[in-house]
Structures are given as structure tokens and as C-alpha cells.
């Protein structure tokens, strides 16, 4: 059975596509491509149909990641087809949990940086780099990469547990 993960930010052009591509690379490196599907979306529909922000594309490519992307909006019925929904900041976490129609769906929503042991504490947000310069995108990538390692461990444990 496939484990499905969706990363969610505001417009699905900066943070969530970055997280999607980084985590997809981690999953491929771990040999779990057939067992894990990765997706991303935005809480809002402002950029639906657009590609990722050019700065996201640049930072991803410089990091050795793919960058193909078309922005989409997260819809309430997506909870039914995803096992884990990862919010990039506390605002997205609140929005997604409000969208969840059941307590089980609300439990699927977590902050991405909760998987980074170095991010323990009150601030587990990945800041929105959109209104800043390229350095903000690079910092975003660093945070996403750090959290992706812990996320991979958790997903691997779940996938292997399902197979047992």
C-alpha cells in the first residue's frame, strides 16, 4: 500500500514545492519510490497553474534537485487520499486542521520542522521567503533539508510497519 505525503504552504510556489522536491529525492535515494507518493499544494489558489517561483527553481537546481512544478490548491477531500499533510508554518497548520472534517484527518496534519530535532521549541516555522531575496530561499532549503531527514526516518518506519 502506498504512503501519500502532501506538503502545504500558502501559494504552492516557494516552500511546499521545495519540500516536495527535496523529500522526493530523499525517498528515491532510500529506494522507497514505489512505496511513497509525494505531492504539494497551497492553502490558497492565487497561483494555481503557475510554475514555482524562479528563486525556488534556482535554489533547487543549485542543490541538485529537480524543479518541475505546477501550483495547485489543497482541497478538503484531499485528506482522504493522503496519509500525512505537512504544513510549512503554524498558519498553514491551523488552516489545514480547520479544513479537516474529522479528528482523524486533523491528526494527519503536522509541521514539517517537527521532524527536525534541531528545530525543537516554539518556532518550527519555515519562514516565507517570497518577499525577500535569494538568501531567504537558501535558508528555506536548509530548513527543508534538515527536516526531510527526520521525516524520511518516520515515513520509512511507517512503510516498513505496513509491509510487516
Active site residues: 9, 15, 128
Residue with cell 530523499: 26
DSSP letter (8 states) at residue 49? T
Q: How far apart are CA 25 and CA 69, in angstroms?
A: 15
Size of the chain in residues: 164
Q: How far apart are CA 47 and CA 55, in angstroms?
A: 15
Short-list 76, 82, 153, CA closest to 114: 153
Short-list 72, 69, 48, CA closest to 59: 69
Q: How far apart are CA 71 and CA 50, in angstroms?
A: 5
Q: What residues pair up with 3 in beta bridges, in sequence order? A: 36
Amino acid at each position: 500500500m502506498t504512503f501519500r505525503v502532501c506538503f502545504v504552504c500558502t501559494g504552492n510556489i516557494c516552500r511546499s514545492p521545495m519540500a516536495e522536491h527535496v523529500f522526493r529525492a530523499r525517498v528515491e535515494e532510500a529506494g522507497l519510490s514505489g512505496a511513497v507518493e509525494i505531492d504539494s499544494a497551497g492553502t490558497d489558489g492565487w497561483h494555481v497553474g503557475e510554475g514555482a517561483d524562479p528563486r525556488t527553481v534556482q535554489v533547487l537546481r543549485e542543490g541538485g534537485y529537480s524543479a518541475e512544478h505546477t501550483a495547485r490548491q489543497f482541497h478538503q477531500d484531499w485528506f482522504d487520499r493522503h496519509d500525512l499533510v505537512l504544513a510549512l508554518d503554524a498558519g498553514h497548520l491551523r488552516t489545514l486542521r480547520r479544513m479537516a472534517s474529522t479528528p482523524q484527518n486533523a491528526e494527519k496534519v503536522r509541521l514539517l520542522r517537527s521532524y527536525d530535532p534541531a528545530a525543537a521549541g516554539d518556532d518550527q516555522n519555515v519562514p516565507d521567503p517570497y518577499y525577500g531575496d535569494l538568501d531567504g530561499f537558501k535558508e528555506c532549503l536548509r530548513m527543508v533539508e534538515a527536516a526531510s531527514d527526520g521525516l524520511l526516518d518516520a515515513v520509512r518506519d511507517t512503510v516498513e510497519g505496513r509491509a510487516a
